[in-house]
Structure 1
């Protein structure tokens, strides 16, 4: 096991031979399936898998309702960094397959991790850090999300057609992701897009609604989004519109930006 300093006064992130990174968390975390509390822990650990950009929680056995877990009938292969021990969850009148698992690392022996229902249609329905409900995945304590109003000049084009032009953007800086430009609706040609029923959730920003380009060309769907009711930390982006930099052309203060390659690039190509 090796350790990596995070910052003065912080606990260190530990790395296992399997490539997992983990560190203890001081947050009180609870997970529920329907009306049943399955996890109630004041000693969770955050775990980062090599192939995932976001962390997940694992919990001491004593903090888990292990009486609700059964050895998985159809355990998956090649999932969760070498894990071979999976559990089905039998709670609240329903069985959810492969809802929980154990990591193979000695460091994490005695801990159980759970899927998050909104990500995988299995696992637990509701999660809480202290008394605040959280969604999609745990918040990463080493990640920042800053939304800053700006007067920079942002122009967006699709296949050479200008679809947005503003000097009143909000720039959203999120660790490990490209800057996103949230634009006033009045400065976006929203008449060139169709609203869709697609939505996504983010533990830092809230729930987003989407629009697709109605023009021709090889443009993926759902490339434009907005947060109608963002979380308080990024309230300044409320109602504004943002594009995936990965598939549109953005010019910032007269300089054409390169399209970034991110995990979203692969996701957009698969649509």
Structure 2
């Protein structure tokens, strides 16, 4: 039987991995098959990646569905030793899982998350809640707070949003996002797009693109029609990327921040 760590603290391996035991019940499903059913998962942070992944004790993984990868991807994960293809219900997912060389994690298998790198299982659950994109980081906090601040948003000198009733969303490691009621946004200057994203903390978002002149990134504004309960105050409100628009709060122009989204925000 594997020995499961119980101390709740972040640990470091010689390879530069950070890991921490979790007490959450985590399940991963492919089609109708439960591939992972774990009550002793471990969160692992790889160097240079802002979000964690899960690794699971072998005893809590359907290892009978895993085969050594036909086309392994060395270097795609920190010091990864063995990659596995997943075969179930006549389907094969290449490089769906891997192991870390760290001695602390020697008896664990990590999995790609659905839509994280374009491969993995279909659904992941923590307890009875489905989690999207990547596991939630227990050291990250997201707060949505109604405010009476005066927020003005401009694109190329044109005011596209002006509100005294924003909701401010504070998310660890990211700039404050300002969500405005749609009545306070010039949505007539934008057109909706088919772009959609998912966030494990907020839910699924839809987007709008600027119709005016200038070099403005596509999908510059977004909204959550049905946000997760933790950020319910942003429901139906509209936010803009601080990295690519000009935002003034209570008369003070904010500097455009540099974030992990900056490089992707191209006209």
Flag whether TM exceeds 0.5 (same fold).
Answer: yes
Aligned partners of 1:111 and 1:120: how far apart in 2?
A: 20
Aligned to 2:197: 200
Measure, in 2, the Cα distance between the counterparts of 1:51 and 1:207.
25
Partner of 1:239: 236
**Following the alignment from structure 1 to structure 2, what is the Cα–Cα distance between the partners of residues 188 and 153?**
13
Q: What secondary structure sits across from 1:120 in the alignment?
A: coil
Match of 1:130 in 2: 127
Match in the other structure for 2:112: 115
Confirm or deny that 1:99 pairs with 2:100: no
Aligned positions of 1:211-230 closer than 5 A: 211-230=208-227
* 1:250 aligned residue: 247
1:92-142 C-alpha deviation (Å, 9 max, x unpaired): 220010100111211111110111122233211111111111111111111
TM-score with structure 2 length normalisation? Answer: 0.95
CA distance in 2, matches of 1:127, 1:46: 14
- Per the TM alignment, residue 81 of structure 1 is displaced from its structure 2 partner at its CA by 1.3
Figure out how many residues of one structure are paired with residues of the other and give that number: 261
| Residue 176 of structure 1 pairs with residue 164 of structure 2 | no
Gaps of 5+ in 1: 1-9
For the 8 Å contact 2:83–2:99, the answer to whether it is kept is yes
Q: After superposition, where does 1:52-67 map in structure 2 within 5 Å?
A: 52-67=49-64
Residue 48 of structure 1 aligns with which residue? 45
Task: Give the structure-1-normalised TM-score.
Answer: 0.94
Does residue 86 (structure 1) correspond to residue 53 (structure 2)? The answer is no
For structure 2, list consecutive stretches of 5 or more residues without a partner in the other structure. Answer: 1-6
| Structure 1 residue 40, shift from structure 2 partner | 0.5
**1:78 to partner: Cα distance:** 2.1
How far off is 1:77 after superposition? 3.0
Q: Check the 8 A contact 2:114/2:132 in 1, yes or no.
A: no
- Runs of 4 or more, structure 1, over 3 Å off, are none
Partner of 2:16: helix, strand, or coil?
A: coil
1:28 aligns with 2:14: no
Aligned match of 1:142 = 139
> Is 1:152 the equivalent of 2:140?
no
Corresponding residue of 2:74: 77
Residue 119 of structure 1 aligns to a residue in which SS? coil
1: CA distance between counterparts of 2:209 and 2:81? 40
For the aligned residues, what is the CA RMSD?
Answer: 1.1
CA distance in 2, matches of 1:63, 1:267: 37
Q: Deviations over 1:19-67 (max 9, x none)?
A: 1110000011110001000001110000011121111100001110011
Q: Is the 2:85–2:95 contact (alpha carbons within 8 Å) kept by the matching residues of 1?
A: yes
Number of the residue aligned with 2:182: 185
